[in-house]
Structure 1
């Protein structure tokens, strides 16, 4: 019983050490960088954030209250490179602010 408990405790400690060692450091994006947010409103979840244009053609993240009204817009499925939602960036809520997490 004692050896089982020490093995379990060792596994728990090892997992904690490895988890802390991995960390959550920002990814170096090279020259691409992340576009700056346009809104200073507080967000609580990713759905509070959007791009500053409809149909995935935004260039900067913003809060949905400051974003465009896309209810009457018909999208053409064109997606120019380097726009937020066209595979380059995800719009997320990070540290209570809308930001873009982009690939280089």
Structure 2
């Protein structure tokens, strides 16, 4: 996304890479897009998470956990649950990038 307000990347131990891009309006995620070179579970995780957080308040989006995403996906095989973590980390990195670009200081609760 060329005009993203924030972008973030996460690299998995499995070799997959996930990128998230967000457009923000009135402290909400107006648009959320992702790119991955990963497996089907990684693609599903990115797709579901991007749909889930679109329209969401930024602080609420920062609190989404990998287990929340696994539940939204109605589960993932145990050997692919790390794909949900990859998506969540990339999203959080994109939101942190937005905060940095916007000059907004926040303390992560993690």
Band of TM-score, shorter chain: under 0.3
* Higher relative contact order structure (alpha carbons within 8 Å, sequence separation ≥ 6): 2
Higher strand share: 2
Give TM-score scaled by structure 1 length: 0.26
* Larger radius of gyration between Structure 1 and Structure 2: 1
Higher helix share: 2
Give TM-score scaled by structure 2 length: 0.25
